[in-house]
């Protein structure tokens, strides 16, 4: 595999970096690498790298490993830029990075000022020609991503990386890593260890990640074999969590009866309202729902009949799944309120996205019901394994690392999406809903027939994450935006801002 230095790279404005390819749709051909060079991570750079990764993975039918590979790519690129920035900082301070004494005294200053002066430091990277090279290549048996920068690491730096890689090999799960790293003030090594464990969980073990430090370059390689086999060593822990699903109540018969009554040809708002009134909690929840952001039109709704009229009988039938879920989980699970609130926001966004897509009434009401339910697995997971989940949450929200979802997999062994789908099955939810629960974080893996429900839910989650600066729209695959009738990321972003304002105004 040829060195990128030997290949002419040209700056492409729309991609935001130097590359040997014409455009984002440049054909992917076996043994013909894509090379990229950049100095800083901008939105365009991220966008380009993520889209290229998706294209390779889709073409090679390896999308299953997207989250962990994306995380590993982010981690190594971020580290490469940081290593470059360090060099510039030492240079600007006229210090010698290879001198141990000087290193010790300057490095603390670098660390304490890096976040603050990041833009300034990174701007001088280009002036000093400290770039990062990323290459994608594949042949019949392997896809390789190489992340390289043209600096030589100090022996201490190289040693530290090697230690982390060997640690990641020995940990069984993230709990081990957390325990071991809790004394590490920087927590800096954890990012690399976590991503390596995510790779391992996706079947990309020791041989998939390589690190080489030589005289004038530092290279990370992520190797994805054409056939990835997934083996999970955490079956026991998963069994424990899954056994708790058996302890959940069954889906209430009274609710099923109402749903069946709505199907009868002579059903009316009056007769259904009569049935509902027998359940005080349910009546109160329907009133509340009719006054929520996704349904309210005009003044406050006070009567049940009016609430049902506003929601619609068919829509009510689908919403009864989420209302019943609320009643079953609310008191038992402390995490309920927070997740439910977020799901309401998601439902509001889904409604807007669904309308923009031109969904018919029944598809739209299924979308809203599914969006309300999509994260119930998280409610359970947070309660079953609180200790781990809190740590994961703190970690992912303080760092720019891939989604929580892969963290859950590496730490706990099961994701909230899988768990939610299992609960949905137990309660006899329509398959559309269980699919939405299962795939809302990995939308590209779902069967195409479910795109209209899974993509909007995924987008609504992304909107929430982007609004709180936990994600960037550059992470969203373009084909998902297209299905949801967004022509560009810019259009999506302005839509997101507008809908967010509407939601907050509520």
Give counts: helices (H), strands (E), the chain: 22, 7
| Shortest Cβ 371–Fe ion spacing (Å) | 8
Angstrom distances, CA of residue 367 to CA of 95, 172, 223, 483: 59, 39, 38, 15
Q: Report in angstroms how near the CB of residue 243 gets to Fe ion at its nearest.
A: 22
Q: How many CA atoms are closer than 13 Å to the CA of 497, on its beta-carbon side? A: 6
Output the smallest distance, CB 408 to Fe ion, in A: 10
Q: How far apart are CA 452 and CA 61, in angstroms?
A: 22
Which tokens go with 390?
């809190």
Q: Select from 29-37, 155-163, 256-264, 453-461 the region that touches Fe ion (CB under 5 A).
A: 453-461
- Give, in degrees to the nearest 5, the angle at Cα 232 between 385 and 139: 130
Q: Are 310 and 295 in contact (CB under 8 A)?
A: yes
> For residues 54 and 375, which CB has a smaller minimum distance to Fe ion in the complex?
375
Query: Out of 34, 461, 472, 473, which residue is the one contacting Fe ion (CB under 5 A)?
Result: 461
Nearest to 339 by CA among 350, 324, 329, 354: 329
By the rule CB under 5 A, 408 interacts with Fe ion: no
Q: Angle of helix 174-181 relative to helix 155-170, nearest 10 degrees?
A: 140
Rounded CA separation 308/198 (Å): 46
Sheet holding 218-225, edge to edge: 10-12, 17-19, 34-38, 132-138, 142-149, 218-225, 209-213
Identify which of residues 16 and 354 has a Cβ nearer to Fe ion in the complex: 354
Cβ 227 to Fe ion shortest distance, Å: 29
Question: In the complex, what is the shortest distance from the CB of residue 351 to Fe ion, in angstroms, rounded to a whole number?
Answer: 15
The CA-atom distances, in angstroms, between 396 and each of 9, 305, 468 are: 34, 45, 13
The least distance separating Fe ion from the CB of residue 46, rounded to whole angstroms, comes to 22
Query: Which among 457, 428, 430, 432 has a CA at the least distance from the CA of 443?
Result: 457
- Give 107-111 contacts, CB < 8 A, sequence gap 24+: 110/85, 110/86, 111/186
> For residues 279 and 461, which CB has a smaller minimum distance to Fe ion in the complex?
461
Q: How far is the CB of 190 from Fe ion (least distance, A)?
A: 23
Q: Which stretch binds Fe ion (CB under 5 A): 67-75, 148-156, 361-369, 374-382?
A: 374-382
Half-sphere exposure of 436 (CA within 13 A, CB side): 31
Asked if 345 interacts with Fe ion (CB under 5 A), we say no
Q: In this chain, which stretch among 40-48, 205-213, 352-360, 455-463 interacts with Fe ion, using CB under 5 A?
A: 455-463
The answer to the question of residue 375 lying near Fe ion (CB under 5 A) is yes
Q: Do you know the residue count of the chain?
A: 506
Q: How many residues bind Fe ion (CB under 5 A)?
A: 2
The stretch near Fe ion (CB under 5 A) out of 121-129, 150-158, 305-313, 461-469 is 461-469
With a CB cutoff of 8 Å and minimum separation 6, the contacts of 137 are: 1, 31, 32, 33, 34, 143, 144, 146
- Nearest distance from C-beta of residue 71 to Fe ion, angstroms: 17
Q: Fill in the per-residue mask, 197 to 226: x = in contact with Fe ion (CB under 5 A), - = not in contact.
A: ------------------------------
Of 317 and 346, CB closest to Fe ion: 346
Q: Which is nearer to Fe ion, 97 or 329 (CB)?
A: 329
169 secondary structure, DSSP code: H
Q: Which residue is nearest to Fe ion (CB)?
A: 461
Alpha carbon distance, N-terminus to C-terminus of the chain: 56
Task: Give 18 or 440: the residue with its C-beta nearer to Fe ion.
Answer: 440
User: Which of the ranges 68-76, 368-376, 448-456, 490-498 carries the binding residues for Fe ion, by CB under 5 A?
Assistant: 368-376
Q: Pick the closer one to Fe ion by CB: 241 or 262.
A: 241
Q: Tell the smallest beta-carbon distance from residue 442 to Fe ion (Å).
A: 10
Closest CB 452 distance from Fe ion, rounded Å: 17
Minimum distance from CB of 460 to Fe ion (Å)?
Answer: 7
**Candidates 92-100, 168-176, 213-221, 456-464 — which segment interacts with Fe ion by CB under 5 A?**
456-464
Q: Which is nearer to Fe ion, 470 or 479 (CB)?
A: 470
Q: Kindly tell me which of 168 and 373 has the beta carbon lying closer to Fe ion.
A: 373
- How far, CA to CA in Å, does 91 sit from each of 86, 106, 129, 217, 464? 9, 11, 13, 18, 41
Binding site for Fe ion (CB under 5 A): 375, 461
């Amino acid at each position: 595999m040829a060195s990128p230095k030997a290949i002419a790279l040209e700056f492409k404005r729309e991609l935001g970096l130097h590359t040997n390819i014409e455009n984002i749709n440049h054909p992917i051909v076996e043994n013909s690498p894509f090379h990229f060079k950049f100095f800083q991570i901008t939105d365009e750079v991220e966008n380009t790298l993520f889209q290229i990764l998706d294209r390779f993975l889709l073409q090679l039918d390896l999308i299953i490993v997207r989250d962990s590979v994306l995380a590993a790519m982010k981690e190594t690129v971020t580290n490469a830029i940081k290593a470059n920035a360090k060099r510039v900082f030492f240079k600007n301070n006229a210090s010698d990075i290879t001198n141990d004494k000087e290193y010790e005294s300057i490095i603390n200053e670098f660390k304490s000022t890096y976040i603050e002066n990041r833009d300034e430091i990174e701007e001088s990277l280009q002036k000093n020609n400290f770039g990062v090279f990323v290459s994608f290549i594949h042949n019949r048996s392997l896809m390789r991503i190489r992340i390289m920068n043209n600096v030589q690491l100090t022996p201490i730096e190289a040693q530290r990386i090697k230690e982390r890689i060997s640690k990641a090999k020995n940990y069984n799960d993230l709990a081990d890593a957390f325990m071991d790293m809790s004394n590490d003030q920087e927590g800096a090594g954890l990012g690399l260890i976590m991503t390596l464990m995510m790779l391992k969980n996706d079947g990309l073990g020791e041989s998939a990640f390589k690190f080489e430090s030589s005289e004038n370059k530092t290279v990370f390689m992520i190797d994805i074999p054409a056939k990835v086999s997934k083996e999970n060593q955490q079956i026991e822990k998963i069994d424990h969590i899954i056994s708790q699903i058996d302890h959940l109540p069954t889906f209430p018969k009274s609710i099923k009866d109402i749903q069946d009554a709505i199907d009868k040809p002579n059903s009316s708002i009056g007769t259904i309202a009569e049935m509902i009134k027998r359940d005080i909690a349910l009546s109160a929840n329907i009133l509340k729902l009719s006054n929520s952001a996704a349904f309210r039109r005009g003044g406050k709704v006070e009567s049940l009949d009016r609430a049902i009229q506003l929601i619609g009988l068919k829509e009510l039938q689908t919403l009864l799944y989420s209302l019943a879920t609320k009643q079953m989980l609310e008191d038992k699970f402390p995490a309920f309120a927070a997740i439910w609130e977020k799901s309401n926001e998601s439902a509001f966004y889904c409604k807007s996205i669904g309308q923009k897509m031109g969904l018919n009434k029944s598809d739209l009401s299924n979308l809203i019901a599914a969006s309300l339910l999509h994260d119930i697995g998280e409610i359970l997971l947070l309660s079953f394994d609180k200790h781990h989940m809190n740590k994961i949450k703190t970690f992912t929200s303080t760092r720019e690392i891939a989604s929580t979802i892969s963290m859950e997999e590496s730490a706990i062994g099961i994701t909230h999406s899988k768990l939610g789908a299992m609960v949905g099955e137990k309660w006899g939810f329509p398959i559309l809903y269980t699919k939405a629960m299962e795939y809302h974080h990995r939308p590209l893996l779902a069967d195409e027939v479910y795109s209209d429900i899974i993509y909007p839910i995924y987008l609504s989650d992304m909107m929430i994450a982007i609004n709180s600066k936990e994600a960037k729209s550059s992470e969203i695959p373009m084909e998902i935006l297209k299905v949801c009738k967004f022509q560009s990321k810019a259009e999506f972003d302005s839509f997101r801002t507008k809908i967010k304002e509407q939601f907050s105004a509520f």
